[in-house]
Structure 1
Amino acid sequence: MARSLVDLLTEHAAHHPGRTAYRYLVTGDSDGEVRNLTYGRLAERSRAVAAWLQERGPAGSRAVLLYPPGLEFVCGYLGCLSAGVVAVPGVPPQGRARNHRALTRMQRLIADADAQVILGGREEIAALDAVAEHLPGLDGIARVATEDIPDEAASAWREPDLTADSIAFLQYTSGSTSAPRGVMVTHGNLLDNQRIITERLGHTPDAIAEHDHEMFVSWLPAYHDMGLIGPTLNTLHLGATATLFSPLHFLERPARWPTAVSRYRPHTSGGPNFAYELCLRHATPELLDRLDLSSWKVAFNGAEPVRPATLRRFAETFGEAGFRRAALYPCYGLAEATLMVTGGSVGTPPTLLAAAEDTPHAGESDAAAVSCGRPATGLTVVIADPERQEELSEGEVGEIWVAGASVAKGYWRNALATRETFRATLPGHDSRFLRTGDLGFLRGGELFVTGRLKDLIVIDGRNHYPQDLELSAELSHPALRPGCTAAFAVNGGADGADGDVRDVGHGGVGGEQPVVVAEVAAESGGESEKIIDLIRAMIGEAHGLAVRDVVLVHSGTIPKTSSGKIQRRATRAAYLDGTLVALAPLAVTGASASG
């Protein structure tokens, strides 16, 4: 029985060395340059990197990975695991992102992980060498472009002494509501979550054979848990084949994603909800006419709120190209549980709940909640009152708590946060629970996720989820970019407890009031005032709320996490300190303090 993914790599390289493990679309185009990496070659390169690491440090030391999208990241990551070194995937500062904020984040990650070495691509290492003297602490850390490690180094590789409790890598959390923390994911966590992904996504031997080992197409970034644990590592776990390309190439031309699915005919492919919206915006008759999506069995949708309207429209639009509605697959997971927690039943359309009634149904436009499926075997999911820390009844909204072998070891060098997040207890349960910080409810054994605990907006005693306000705003005008809106609350009174915002002619009442910041496409022209009015009207009609302020900003303004989640608290802070650059004059100006 395999003790780690290192054992599985050894097994696959021995039994089918010539099989393609990963192919990479260099330009993102299916008819462009393609690079292939077989299992035999993957094992050789991983062992070469591992041997280089073993010569320079003990097992358990940390190596930060700074790679551009491509196959070299996979070799570097598996090289760390093969050496018994703790991998720390990072976001390489490059292009427009090579700014002070990106460099500062990278520097803090390197310091927090107490890294002994940095692995990366040639350009990334050269860029680091150029700025090393300006980044305290970087000068003494060994850096290497792993392409430059010779194949011959693999002969010196020594198999590491790994146990289920050995840390495989640190997954730094997205930081959507707090400072990023390093989640300690063990080799045991990895294997258990690979079991769960395989089970929930229907990756059976029959499915693998039916698809001739073509199991994934993915543009998701490999440094983030969804792209790493899902397409990249489940491919290795299965001994299958994945087609990968850069997220930048997807964003540049969203049609590349369904085109790659049509070309390589994988069983599984997916991404966050906004990715499906982008595809819908580029679904021309010409594109649909040349696609064949009939082999696509699992179209997973996670990492951000799943929109019922998006599911319906995607199924209707791409149904013309052979996509089946039953392939839609909302799911739920988080880095602290390695990745996957719940998922649907393959071949069964997702369960939707109506806005006005509790009867489950599917396909109606007034659906308010989407099921993210059932917990996998071996995982326990409960809904708890976050204050009283008591289990709630079915249908009641509370904090989602998770227990099982996929739950990570804790936060790296942060005993207090580990105790608060990973060591929760409930009467009647023997397990220790992970407090996810997410809100949801259970209905018929299925999980419905409703929002984030810390993002909840409470106005006049009523709870409002920011993602609901954001969706309403985005639906009000086609110039608003999908997945690029932030809704949050500020204190409305001139002398409010938070001292958030001075009142400027908005009624003068205290308490929380909503603000919406939205990115608009460049072609919106001079319609700013019209768009603002439409957003106010839509939110007023749909939610009964008077919006204090609507701020329109250029594309790329709203801060996001490495996985693309909106950072509402960071957007709120920028709004309060006056650093948001608006397309139109702010209705509310000045802020005495941030809250």
Structure 2
Amino acid sequence: MDLHLPTGPTPTLSGLALRAGDFDTLPEALDYAAEGMSGLNFYSAQGELGEALSYRSLRHDAVDLAYRLMGLGLSRGDSVAIIAETSPNFVRIFFACQYAGLVPVPMPLPFAFGGRETYIAHIERLADEAEARALFASTTLLSWLAPMAETRNLRFCGTVADLAELDIQDVALPEITPEDTAYLQFSSGSTRFPKGVVIQQKALMANAAGILAQGMEIGPEDRAVSWLPLYHDMGLVGFLLSPLAGQVTVDFIATQDFARRPRVWLSLISQNRGTISYSPSFGFDLCTRRQKTIDRDSLDLSCWRIAGIGGDMIRPAVLSQFAETFGVCGFKPQAFLPSYGMAEATLAISFAPVGLGIETETIDLDRLEQDGLAMPPQHADSRARTVVHCGLPLKGHKVEVRGRDGAVLADRAVGRVFARGPSIMHEYKGRPVETLESLSGDGWLETGDLGYRIGETLVITGRAKDLIIINGRNIWPQDLEWTVERAVPQVRTGDCAAFSIEENGSEVLVVAVEARGIADAEAGKLLIEEVRGALVSHHGVDSRVVLVPPGSLPYTSSGKLSRAKTRQSYLTAALPTVAAMAA
């Protein structure tokens, strides 16, 4: 590996003529970025620079490791599982696979809750689904995963340092084409039956070009900062692969370090004059809730021109609170950039215009639930919901909203969202049935989301699988959760999950709420009554409220609340409870 490491972070200016992702393959993009001075910087939980990896050094190390990979007996197109820690070695081996014609498969880190055996079983499922032939992990995690690797007769199981000690093979590296698979991305849905999304080089580069040129309007003075996990599409594509394809320097902190010290994220933006950083709504909310631990007088966030929001339903109230809290630091609400996407589309499907901030509208919940129409409230006291415009599809892409019969719906009619374009996945690896269910013969992807259109502008209302139907009404769980969070002071953002179950032929609404500061049974009973009362008052629905310990609601790898996992845990009596009351 290249031992000539810079003493400070890589500069913002690459010194190259800006190319916004106009490459055929990822190796071609790195070859170009390596001619400049920009790169990747990895920071500790304290905000100290651990290692600066220029794109020049990354290419040197990746090619060196690619030759060593060629000696492991792997065949072109074989999958290589990589535990995706936020570290230079993950990036090195990911790009080594690119040059060697292998398919890297980023794997998640251990869960915050669940334990060692649960994690090992999850990695086993992912490795089997990917048909992995090799596995890379840190020394710490190898002790957990080595037995699993032995039973699967992997060609290699070790660290990047172990690979670096092997001999370089006297072979030619393969030519990588746009048709080759760039990587395999597991979507953040089911952990029991995971699906590996096959992303070709041409799909990746089309999405990166759209993100850089249209979505973010990238410029030579842009610098990115990220805490997003590299095993998720928003972290991997949005803040590693796309920036590299635009020769943009990125400053990283690990996801777990952000969760413990969100101030480090904001400090890095201020200190390094970061211009682009993304987060789901909960990340902005965490900073607001921890504001007392953040020295706002020392922050200058005036440089932050794109504060992207994606990865989950966008919560306008959360963003308004963040903008109000950090406006004294120079943060501008016009920096907010809503977007929409998913792993099956590589990452991005649509972006709002840069510099306009959040564009919202208020819609009548009764019309939404009963008629499936997103219309303005008819009366001042109408039940209402505020939604966010997610912008226009990337160039070369199309979005349609369809009804149950497959017909394209008119403006403001809510239906299933479909997308088509050069960034759409090739297939789910080894799952032809699931591929046909999601991807039509003419390239239309059923996203699984519900939404509506206003002209070309897309608005997302929720996930189709999460939709709750009570007495013929279509009720979005987000609406119920947001009501509880606003009406009950003890319930924080993200502390509530709503879902329905079938009992005796009827749908029953269940609401799991994390109980914080509950000292006795009487306090628990009072909290339950407040939650039920809020839902009856605002939505006219009765509910079964279940109180669970703080931190026990399950989340996906991307930080989304998993209502499906909460429901499954409830049905199998695996959801830990503090107290419960039947509807």
State the TM-score, normalized to the length of structure 2: 0.88
Map of 1:316 onto structure 2: 324
Q: Which amino acid counterpart does residue 236 of structure 1 have in structure 2? A: L
Query: Of residues 241, 246, 255 in structure 1, which corresponds to 2:254?
Result: 246
Map of 2:345 onto structure 1: 337
Map of 1:504 onto structure 2: none
After TM superposition, give the deviation of residue 382 of structure 1 in Å.
0.6
CA separation of 1:294 and 1:157: change in aligned 2, threshold 3 A = farther
Map of 1:21-36 to 2, 5 A cutoff?
21-27=39-45, 29-30=46-47, 32-36=48-52
Matched, 1:533 2:550: no
Map of 1:275-314 to 2, 5 A cutoff?
275-284=283-292, 287-314=295-322
Contact conserved, 1:352 with 1:367, CA < 8 A, in 2? no
Contact conserved, 1:48 with 1:153, CA < 8 A, in 2? no
Any idea what the Cα deviations from partners look like across 1:184-226, whole Å, max 9, x if unmatched?
A: 000001100001110233343xx323x4xx2x11000001101
Map of 1:182 onto structure 2: 196
Any idea what the Cα deviations from partners look like across 1:403-448, whole Å, max 9, x if unmatched?
A: 0000010110111111111116xxxxxx420000100001132111
After TM superposition, give the deviation of residue 136 of structure 1 in Å.
7.6
Query: Of residues 130, 146, 156 in structure 1, which corresponds to 2:160?
Result: 146
CA separation of 1:484 and 1:84: change in aligned 2, threshold 3 A = farther
1:483 alignment partner, SS class: coil
CA separation of 1:436 and 1:94: change in aligned 2, threshold 3 A = closer
After TM superposition, give the deviation of residue 125 of structure 1 in Å.
2.3
CA distance in 2, matches of 1:286, 1:341: 34
Map of 1:582 onto structure 2: 577
Matched, 1:375 2:390: no
Query: Of residues 557, 566, 570 in structure 2, which corresponds to 1:562?
Result: 557
Q: Which amino acid counterpart does residue 40 of structure 2 have in structure 1? A: Y
Query: Of residues 451, 465, 470 in structure 2, which corresponds to 1:459?
Result: 470
Q: How many residues align?
A: 545
2:132 alignment partner, SS class: coil
Any idea what the Cα deviations from partners look like across 1:347-395, whole Å, max 9, x if unmatched?
A: 11222111349569xxxx975211111111111011011x311111111
Q: Which amino acid counterpart does residue 54 of structure 2 have in structure 1? A: T
After TM superposition, give the deviation of residue 482 of structure 1 in Å.
2.3
1:401 alignment partner, SS class: strand
CA distance in 1, matches of 2:42, 2:51: 5
CA separation of 1:396 and 1:94: change in aligned 2, threshold 3 A = closer
1:55 alignment partner, SS class: helix
CA distance in 1, matches of 2:486, 2:151: 47
Matched, 1:5 2:13: no
CA distance in 1, matches of 2:170, 2:226: 33
CA distance in 2, matches of 1:451, 1:95: 26
Map of 1:592 onto structure 2: none
CA distance in 2, matches of 1:125, 1:160: 30
Matched, 1:472 2:483: yes
Matched, 1:489 2:484: no
CA distance in 2, matches of 1:454, 1:195: 31
Q: Which amino acid counterpart does residue 403 of structure 1 have in structure 2? A: R
After TM superposition, give the deviation of residue 97 of structure 1 in Å.
5.2
Any idea what the Cα deviations from partners look like across 1:304-334, whole Å, max 9, x if unmatched?
A: 1101211222222211111111111111000
Map of 2:443 onto structure 1: 432
Matched, 1:217 2:225: yes
2:529 alignment partner, SS class: helix
CA distance in 1, matches of 2:156, 2:339: 40
After TM superposition, give the deviation of residue 491 of structure 1 in Å.
2.3
Q: Name which of structure 1's ranges 189-198 and 251-260 shifts more when overlaid on structure 2.
A: 251-260
CA separation of 1:285 and 1:105: change in aligned 2, threshold 3 A = closer
CA distance in 2, matches of 1:77, 1:44: 13
CA distance in 2, matches of 1:588, 1:524: 19
Q: Which amino acid counterpart does residue 539 of structure 2 have in structure 1? A: H
CA RMSD of aligned residues (A): 2.4
Matched, 1:444 2:455: yes
CA distance in 2, matches of 1:326, 1:83: 43
Q: Which amino acid counterpart does residue 572 of structure 1 have in structure 2? A: R
CA distance in 2, matches of 1:94, 1:337: 26
CA distance in 1, matches of 2:539, 2:315: 17
CA separation of 1:136 and 1:156: change in aligned 2, threshold 3 A = closer
CA separation of 1:457 and 1:178: change in aligned 2, threshold 3 A = farther
Q: Which amino acid counterpart does residue 36 of structure 1 have in structure 2? A: A
2:142 alignment partner, SS class: helix
Contact conserved, 1:456 with 1:463, CA < 8 A, in 2? yes
After TM superposition, give the deviation of residue 266 of structure 1 in Å.
1.4
CA distance in 1, matches of 2:473, 2:238: 37
State the TM-score, normalized to the length of structure 1: 0.87
Map of 2:11 onto structure 1: none
Q: Which amino acid counterpart does residue 12 of structure 1 have in structure 2? A: A
Map of 1:160 onto structure 2: 174
Q: Which amino acid counterpart does residue 22 of structure 1 have in structure 2? A: L
Q: Which amino acid counterpart does residue 202 of structure 1 have in structure 2? A: M
Query: Of residues 213, 220, 228 in structure 2, which corresponds to 1:208?
Result: 220
Matched, 1:54 2:70: yes
Contact conserved, 1:484 with 1:566, CA < 8 A, in 2? no
Matched, 1:77 2:89: no
Any idea what the Cα deviations from partners look like across 1:12-44, whole Å, max 9, x if unmatched?
A: 22x22xx241111122x33x2431111121112
Matched, 1:120 2:154: no
Any idea what the Cα deviations from partners look like across 1:277-328, whole Å, max 9, x if unmatched?
A: 1111112396222211101111111111101211222222211111111111
CA separation of 1:149 and 1:576: change in aligned 2, threshold 3 A = closer
Unaligned 5+ runs, structure 2:
1-21, 365-373, 378-382
Matched, 1:88 2:105: yes
CA distance in 2, matches of 1:202, 1:93: 32
CA separation of 1:454 and 1:96: change in aligned 2, threshold 3 A = closer
Map of 1:501 onto structure 2: none
After TM superposition, give the deviation of residue 106 of structure 1 in Å.
0.7
CA distance in 1, matches of 2:347, 2:227: 17
Any idea what the Cα deviations from partners look like across 1:479-532, whole Å, max 9, x if unmatched?
A: 43422421101224xx32xxxxxxxxxxxxxx21211112234x4544322322
| Percent identity (aligned) | 31
Map of 1:427 onto structure 2: none
CA separation of 1:5 and 1:310: change in aligned 2, threshold 3 A = same
After TM superposition, give the deviation of residue 100 of structure 1 in Å.
2.2
After TM superposition, give the deviation of residue 151 of structure 1 in Å.
8.2
Contact conserved, 1:486 with 1:518, CA < 8 A, in 2? yes
CA separation of 1:24 and 1:479: change in aligned 2, threshold 3 A = farther
CA distance in 1, matches of 2:532, 2:436: 42
CA distance in 2, matches of 1:203, 1:448: 22
Any idea what the Cα deviations from partners look like across 1:535-569, whole Å, max 9, x if unmatched?
A: 1122222212111x111212332222211222222
CA distance in 2, matches of 1:286, 1:21: 28
CA distance in 2, matches of 1:475, 1:146: 48
Contact conserved, 1:519 with 1:554, CA < 8 A, in 2? yes
